[in-house]
């Protein structure tokens, strides 16, 4: 068993595989996400839709919520790979979780950006004080 962390493209391949498990009966838009934590663990997520459409949850949020539930903390996340470009709400989550870099597909390209590049001038807890 290798102890080397996955490369960004390997992490994206994990997200691709996870996407097959998405629950997306309404949009048929299957999204997968793979989060690489600092301890080397990879946490997967998929989008989960609901008949009450606004209640659906994006793959990034299911992966990050699962990571938090399993004991990780904001700042523990080295990379997040997503099979599609993150929506605006998820960009706020990526910022809040202190993700170092985000790897995602958009228009046939694979892009790597920081949360600050994805959501400049973002709102955070310092703004609440």
Question: Which residue in 18, 90, 99, 102 binds Zn ion (CB under 5 A)?
Answer: 90
65 binds Zn ion (CB under 5 A): no
Any idea how long the chain is? 129
Token couple for 104: 């995602």
DSSP summary character for residue 83: S
- Tell me how far, at minimum, the Cβ of 88 lies from Zn ion, in Å: 8
Token couple for 4: 């080397």
Residue 40 or 89: the one with the smaller Cβ distance to Zn ion is 89
- Tell me how far, at minimum, the Cβ of 102 lies from Zn ion, in Å: 12
Residue 2 or 54: the one with the smaller Cβ distance to Zn ion is 54
Token couple for 52: 């009450």
Residue 79 or 104: the one with the smaller Cβ distance to Zn ion is 104
Token couple for 33: 């996400």
CA atoms within 13 A of residue 34's CA, in its CB half-sphere: 25
User: Given 60, 70, 96, 100, which residue is catalytic?
Assistant: 60
Residues designated as active site: 60
């Amino acid at each position: 068993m290798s102890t080397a962390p996955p490369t960004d493209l390997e992490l994206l391949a994990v997200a691709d595989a996870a996407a097959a498990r998405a629950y997306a009966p309404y949009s048929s838009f299957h999204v997968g996400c793979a989060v690489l934590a600092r301890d080397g663990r990879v946490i997967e997520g998929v989008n989960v839709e609901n008949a009450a459409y606004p209640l659906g949850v994006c793959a990034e949020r299911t992966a990050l919520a699962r990571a938090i539930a399993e004991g990780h903390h904001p700042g523990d996340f080295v990379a997040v790979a997503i099979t599609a470009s993150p929506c605006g709400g998820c960009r706020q989550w990526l910022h809040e979780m202190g993700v170092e870099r985000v790897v995602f597909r958009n228009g046939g390209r694979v892009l790597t950006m920081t949360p600050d590049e994805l959501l400049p001038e973002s709102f955070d807890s310092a703004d609440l004080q």
